[in-house]
Amino acid sequence: AEAAVTVAIARIRSSEAEAEEAASNIQQVEARLVANKAELKRVVGLVERKAVTIANLDEAQASNDVSEAAKISAEAALRSAQAKKEIAVAEREAAEAEVATAQARHAESIKEGEELDAMLQYTTLRAPFDGVVTSRSVDPGDFVTGISQAHGLLRRPLFHVDQQSRLRVRVAIPERDASEVDAGDPVVLRLDAFPKAPIDAVVTRAAQRLDPSTRTMLAEIEVDNTGGRLLPGMFGCATIIATTSKEAIVLPASALRTDAEGSPYIYLLDEEDRIVKTHIVVGADDGHEIEVVTGLAGTERVVDAFVGSIEEGQVVEVVRSE
């Protein structure tokens, strides 16, 4: 198409040259015609005065007729050249339209190629991060199709990929302790898989709201796992140090008892090793030790867990472990 444009431009230039030549010929012919008409008029006057013969008149008339015929021919040649130019211009416009069409098709082909390349990229699954494939639901050779949810079926993931270099531990904080837990509080993690290897960490974030169904608050603790020792899904225990008190009175959780109304109390020994029942107010509780807020001075002897039953006022024998 571009070659056709070039040919059409060449034809336009050729026809323009022919038109210029024809116009020049017309000017020359018109000049000769004017001269011949003047000569014919002069000869007619001479013939009327009988100064020349009729043969001279015929010769002048013939010259005039030839000039007029030459003018008509030159004008026809000019019109022919102009027609050729118009045809060449139309051919050029048609060729340019074909070039534009070809360029549009070429651009469309490029876009189609880019679209095909983009679609081909979907044939290779790339995770957005480095991780470990923990599960897959397809095997090599399986035909994978999209499953429409409109048919009552859910789309099934092909792979599950976990980024395990840093893990998140989720802890449910009881309602009584939720208000004391904040981001940055120190934590000691003890996993069931590594009971003798506690992990020191801090609370990364706390939900600051309770789950209505469990009455607990979610706290998250991020743990470095660059070595890959920890695995997602492991269970363990987290001890969060929300508050500290250097002068707190602490008892083993096994020493605490509750009466029928749910009030906490403990058994003390007086100077005569007699059982004395004392109600107390408890504070922090980590499941192993309980803080006593009021009810004890710190110098009393407290009865820990025992087998059997005792009553207030009963004298007991103190057995000390060796």
Whole-model pTM: value is 0.49
Given this model, what pLDDT does residue 215 score?
94
Which of the pair, 62 or 141, is modelled with greater confidence?
Answer: 141
Q: Which residues, 6 or more positions from 53, have their beta carbon under 8 angstroms from its beta carbon?
A: 47
Distance separating alpha carbons of residues 189 and 239, to the nearest angstrom: 6
Which of the pair, 157 or 45, is modelled with greater confidence?
Answer: 157
- Mean pLDDT computed over 133-140: 87
Lowest mean pLDDT among 9-18, 122-131, 174-183: 9-18
Which CATH number applies to 245-322: 2.40.420.20, 2.40.110.10, 3.40.50.620, 2.40.160.60?
A: 2.40.420.20
- Mean pLDDT computed over 104-111: 89
- Mean pLDDT computed over 215-223: 95
Given this model, what pLDDT does residue 190 score?
93
The sign one gets for the Cα dihedral 171, 172, 177, 179 is positive
Lowest mean pLDDT among 35-44, 83-92, 160-169, 179-188: 35-44
CATH class label, 162-240: mainly beta
Tokens of residue 16, six digits: 């323009």
> In DSSP terms, which residues pair with 136 in a beta bridge?
159
Split at pLDDT 50, 70, 90, the class of 199 is: very high
Phi/psi zone of residue 30: left (φ > 0), alpha (ψ -120 to 50 degrees), beta?
alpha
Given this model, what pLDDT does residue 146 score?
60
Given this model, what pLDDT does residue 321 score?
58
Q: pLDDT per residue over 225-258, tens digit each? A: 988 899 988 999 998 888 777 778 888 888 888 8
Strands of the 236-240 sheet, one edge to the other: 194-202, 186-191, 236-240
Q: Which residues, 6 or more positions from 154, have their beta carbon under 8 angstroms from its beta carbon?
A: 147
Domain residue ranges of the chain, discontinuous segments joined by +: 2-121, 162-240, 245-322
Please report which helix (H) or strand (E) contains residue 11, including its range.
helix 2-48
Given this model, what pLDDT does residue 150 score?
47
Given this model, what pLDDT does residue 208 score?
92
Q: Which residues, 6 or more positions from 296, have their beta carbon under 8 angstroms from its beta carbon?
A: 249, 266, 278, 280, 302
Q: What is the mean pLDDT of the chain?
A: 80
> In DSSP terms, which residues pair with 122 in a beta bridge?
none
Q: Which residues, 6 or more positions from 99, have their beta carbon under 8 angstroms from its beta carbon?
A: 1, 2, 5
Q: pLDDT per residue over 271-280, tens digit each? A: 888 888 899 9
Strands of the 205-210 sheet, one edge to the other: 166-174, 216-224, 205-210
Which of the pair, 19 or 270, is modelled with greater confidence?
Answer: 270
> Where are any strands of DSSP class E within the chain?
132-136, 159-162, 166-174, 186-191, 194-202, 205-210, 216-224, 236-240, 249-252, 257-258, 264-269, 275-279, 281-285, 289-294, 301-302
CB 202 within 8 A of CB 184: yes
CA angle 195, 200, 203 (to 5 degrees): 120
Phi/psi zone of residue 287: left (φ > 0), alpha (ψ -120 to 50 degrees), beta?
left
Q: Which residues, 6 or more positions from 178, have their beta carbon under 8 angstroms from its beta carbon?
A: 210, 216, 217
Split at pLDDT 50, 70, 90, the class of 3 is: low
CATH topology identical between 162-240 and 245-322 = no
